[in-house]
Amino acid sequence: MGTILGTVAAMIVGGAVAAVTVVGVVSSQTSPQGDSPANVNAPVVQYGATQ
C-alpha cells in the first residue's frame, strides 16, 4: 500500500515539476518583452540602471 502511495506521490511531484518547468519556459518565451533600458532620446545610452 505504502509503495503504491509513494509511487503515486512521486509521479505527481515529478509530473508537476515537469509541467511547471515546461509552462515556465514556454510562457517566458511568449510573454511580451520588457521595455528596453535604452532611450534614444537620452543624452547618452546608459550602461544600465541599478535594481
Partner 1 sequence: MTLPDPPPRWVRAVPAAWSSLLAVLLLGPALGPGYVLSFDMVWVPDLVLRADVLGVGTGLPRAVPSDAVVAVLDEVLPGALLQDLVLLAALVVGGLGVNRLLVPLDLGLPARLAGLTLWQWNPYVVERLVLGHWPVLVGYAALPWVLHGASRWRVEGRCPARLLLLVPLGSLSVSAGLATSSALLVVLVAGRAPVRRVLAAAVLAVAAQAPWLVSGLLHAGAAVTDGEGAALFALSDEGLLPAPLAAASLGGVWNAAVVPDSRQGLLAVVGLLVLAVLAAAGLAVLLRRPTPAARGLARPLAVLWAVGWGLAVLTWAAPGPVGDLAEVLPGAGVLRDGARLLLLCVPLLVLLVALAVDAAARRLRAARLPTPAVVALLGVLVLWPVTVLPDAAIGVAGRLDAVEYPSSYAGARAALEEAAPDGDVLVLPLSSYRAPDWNDGRPVLDPLPRVLVPVPVASDDLVVDDVTVAGEDPRVRDARVALAEPDPAARAAALGRLGIAAVAEDLTAPGPRAEVAGEQVWADERLRVLVLPEAEPRSVPTGWVAAMGLAWAAYLAVAAAGLVLALVRRRRGTGGSRGATHPMRRNLSG
Please, what is the minimum distance in Å from the beta carbon of residue 14 to partner 1? 3
In whole angstroms, how close is the CB of 37 to partner 1 at the nearest point? 4
**Residue 1 lies near partner 1 (rule: CB under 8 A):** no
Find out whether 28 and 40 touch, Cβ atoms under 8 Å.
no
Rounded CA gap, 18 and 12, in Å? Answer: 10
36: Cα within 13 Å, side-chain hemisphere: 8
Closest approach of partner 1 to the CB of residue 19, in Å: 10
Q: Judged by CB under 8 A, does residue 42 bind partner 1?
A: yes
